[in-house]
Amino acid sequence: MAVAIIGVLGLVARHPDDGAQLSTPTGGTAAAANMPSSNSGSVQSDNTTSSTTQTSSSGSLKDGTFTGQSEFTPYGTVKVAAVVSGGKITDIKFLQMPGPAGHSKEVTAFAEPYLKGETIQRQSSRIDFVSGATTTSEAYEQSLQAALDQAA
């Protein structure tokens, strides 16, 4: 089974685009909007875990709970575990998410259901990439992929 994972943060955090003016977010969302920092240089993460999406046609995931490595972000640590049952991911456990100070807790509470829901949905549809007007959570993806690599 080919599994390609992208997590979703339900945030306003996208680089302003399309030549159109963005009005400033108000209230508590402003902090959430800045969460993946868009004014810094790029985070060099492409030399850590790489995701292998090729699996053999006869392969499926082993059952069990597999814990990914901790992924460090400026806002805290992300660590997930994948629960595999019947060869498919049936649950994702968030062992560590950024927080608890300030806005991070709000972000975490809001993002978790989306991150989990999207992974499980994508797996059953065998989707390679998702097109949507949201950002993805790279730390989540890398931790989850590490977990899945153990289950493969």
Partner 1 sequence: MRKVAQIMGMPISIDIPQCSDGAVFTAAFDRLREIDERFSTYKPESEVSRFSRGEIDEYDLSGELKTVIKACQEASDRTDGYFSAWAAGVFDPSGYVKGWAIAEAGKVIEEEGYQTYCIGAGGDILARSDGDKKWNIGIQDPKDKSKILNTLSISSGAVCTSGSYERGAHLINPKTSQPASEFLSVTVAGPDIIWADILATAVFVMGKKGVKFMDAQSDKGYRLSAVVT
Q: Which residues bind partner 1 (CB under 8 A)?
A: 4, 6, 8, 10-26, 29-30, 32-33, 36-39, 41-47, 50-54, 113-114, 116-118, 120-122, 125-138, 141-142
| Least Å from the CB of residue 133 to partner 1 | 3
Q: Smallest gap, in angstroms, from Cβ of residue 32 to partner 1?
A: 7
Nearer of residues 21 and 58 to partner 1, judged by Cβ: 21
| Closer to partner 1 by Cβ: residue 13 or 97 | 13
CB of 58 to partner 1, least distance (A): 18
DSSP label of 40: S
- Decide whether 81 or 115 has the Cβ nearer to partner 1: 115
Closer residue to partner 1 in complex, CB, 38/85? 38
| Helical (H) or strand (E) element with 118 | helix 103-125
| Single-letter code of the amino acid located at 138 | E
Q: Which is nearer to partner 1, 64 or 74 (CB)?
A: 74
Q: Enumerate long-range contacts of 33-36, CB under 8 Å, 24 or more apart.
A: 35/9, 35/11, 35/75, 35/103, 35/104, 35/107, 36/9, 36/135, 36/138
CB 139 to partner 1: min, Å: 9
Q: Is 99 left (phi over 0), alpha (psi -120 to 50) or beta?
A: left
Cα of first residue to Cα of last residue in the chain, in angstroms, is 10
The tokens describing 53, both together, are: 């999406």
Query: Closest separation between CB of residue 73 and partner 1, Å?
Result: 9
